[in-house]
């Protein structure tokens, strides 16, 4: 469902202009996203608890925001998307960054306490990248092959379990090498999203090595030639490479680039969300309103690029500003 909403937002014009560019050229923020205008009388404190994927991004926004308002006291904690809803419900945080949409159960818990649902803000686009070691000869994997590598239930219908690289079509000296899988811990939204989209909600194998952070996944892969793992594309380093992914067996493989993400070709693309507790009957307090405006402004979206993710299209940014009653 979330992928279909995603496709809807990928403006055709935007996609074509982006297709013309090559991956080496730096991504730029959609020109229709307005620049941030400073407001007066903003002070107070912001506390954000949630996703680890969004941790650096929140920090970058906080740095930019405190440049505009040096007296706003900002604290950021990121231990996984699963920690965002409880903190929002308990009122210990105002912002709940999540790398996956909130589950129905979490929504209900929130609604039971406040009488309304939390409001999401789509802050960035992430192609959830599948990384392998930089010397790995893997050229392309299908979702079914990924499922066979990571899942013990194989809901995507792969016939056999993939234990060695030879099982997913690698030839040469690496064919006999066992696949060593790295993933995130279960509090992570990345873990949840990968499970939902790549594995159709199947179960992870017990042999997947769970890492406490996205960067830890990438570092583990960097030192293990037979490794494969997933995390936000923003965490890519020179020691790993992304594997192009095809949605169907034998289909075209698309790499985790901004063009493929916007066009919806890359099959595990997602939005990165920040959830807020907004009472529909009241206007937002100035600090939170300005922070949202900042995130969905040109400056905020440049922060997204700086962190290696992709900025949202202008339509998404403007729609979400409207959802919070901001222009």
Partner 1 sequence: MEIAAAVASGAVAQNARTYHRVTDLRARGEPFTWVLGGALCLGIVMIVGFLLLVLWNGFLTFVPRPVAVVTTTAGKVSAGEVARTDTFRPAPDALAKLAPDAQEKIKKAEGFAGRTLYRIGNFDLYSEDFRWIDDNEIKSTEYPKNIVYVERQEWGPFIGTVKAITLDGKPAEGTDFSAPAVASAYSEALARGKRVREIERDEIGNVNHEVERARLAVRKAELKSGRDSQAYKDAAAHFEQLSVDSRGEYERLTAEVQRLRSINDKFTVTFAEIGGREKTVPMVNIVRAYMPNDLSFAQKVGVYFSRWGEFLISEPREANTEGGVFPAIFGTLAMTLLMVIAVAPFGVMTALYLREYAKQGRLVAFVRISVNNLAGVPSIVYGVFGLGFFAYVIGGSIDQLFYPERLPNPTFGTGGLLWASLTLALLTVPVVIVATEEALAAVPRSMREGSLACGASKWQTIRNIVMPRALPGVMTGIILAMARGAGEVAPLMLVGVVKLAPELPIDGHFPYVHLERSFMHLGFHIFDVGFQSRNSEAGKPMVFVTTVLLITLVAVMNAAAIIIRNRLKRRFVGSQF
Q: Applying CB under 8 A, which residues contact partner 1? A: 23-24, 26-27, 38, 40-45, 47, 52, 55-56, 59-60, 62-63, 66-67, 69-71, 73-79, 91-92, 94, 134-135, 137, 172, 212-216, 218-219, 234-239, 305-308
At its nearest, how many Å lie between partner 1 and the CB of residue 89?
11
Q: Which is nearer to partner 1, 83 or 151 (CB)?
A: 83
At its nearest, how many Å lie between partner 1 and the CB of residue 156?
29
Helix (H, G, I), strand (E, B) or coil at 245: strand
Q: Which is nearer to partner 1, 57 or 317 (CB)?
A: 57
At its nearest, how many Å lie between partner 1 and the CB of residue 5?
27
Q: Which is nearer to partner 1, 4 or 40 (CB)?
A: 40
Spatial contact of 49 and 87, defined as CB atoms under 8 Å apart: yes
CA separation for the pair 253, 251 (Å, rounded): 6
- Other beta carbons within 10 Å of 15: 17
At its nearest, how many Å lie between partner 1 and the CB of residue 279?
12
In order, the DSSP letters of 74-94 are EEEEES-GGGHHHHHHHTS-S
- Angle among Cα 111, 327, 121 to the nearest 5 degrees reads 40
At its nearest, how many Å lie between partner 1 and the CB of residue 154?
29
Spatial contact of 272 and 235, defined as CB atoms under 8 Å apart: no
Q: Which is nearer to partner 1, 94 or 260 (CB)?
A: 94
CA separation for the pair 96, 274 (Å, rounded): 5
Spatial contact of 230 and 189, defined as CB atoms under 8 Å apart: no
């Amino acid at each position: 469902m979330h992928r279909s909403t995603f496709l809807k937002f990928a403006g055709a014009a935007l996609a074509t202009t982006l297709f013309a560019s090559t991956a080496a050229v730096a991504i730029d923020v959609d020109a229709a996203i307005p620049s941030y205008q400073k407001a007066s009388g903003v002070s107070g404190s912001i506390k954000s608890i949630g996703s680890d994927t969004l941790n650096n991004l929140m920090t970058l926004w906080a740095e930019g925001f405190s440049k505009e308002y040096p007296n706003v006291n900002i604290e950021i904690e990121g231990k996984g998307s699963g920690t965002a809803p409880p903190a929002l419900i308990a009122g210990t945080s105002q912002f709940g960054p999540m790398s996956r949409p909130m589950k129905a159960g979490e929504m209900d818990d929130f609604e039971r306490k406040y009488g309304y649902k939390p409001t999401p803000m789509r802050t960035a686009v992430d192609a959830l990248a599948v990384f392998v070691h930089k010397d790995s000869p893997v050229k392309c994997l299908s979702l079914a092959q990924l499922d066979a590598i990571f899942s013990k239930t194989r809901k995507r219908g792969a016939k056999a379990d993939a234990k060695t690289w030879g099982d997913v079509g690698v030839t040469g000296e690496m064919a006999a090498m066992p696949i060593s899988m790295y993933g995130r811990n279960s509090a992570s939204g990345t873990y949840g999203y990968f499970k939902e989209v790549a594995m159709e909600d199947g179960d992870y194998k017990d042999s997947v090595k769970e890492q406490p952070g996205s960067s830890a996944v990438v570092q583990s892969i960097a030192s293990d030639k037979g490794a494969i793992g997933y995390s936000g594309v923003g965490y890519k380093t020179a020691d790993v490479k992304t594997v192009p992914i095809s949605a169907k067996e034998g289909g075209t493989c698309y790499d985790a680039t901004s063009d493929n993400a916007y066009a919806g070709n890359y099959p595990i693309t997602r939005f990165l969300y920040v959830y807020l507790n907004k009472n529909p009957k009241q206007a937002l307090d100035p600090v939170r309103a300005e922070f949202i405006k900042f995130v969905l402004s040109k400056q905020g979206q440049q922060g997204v690029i700086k962190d290696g993710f992709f900025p949202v299209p202008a339509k998404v940014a403007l729609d979400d500003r409207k959802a919070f009653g901001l222009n």
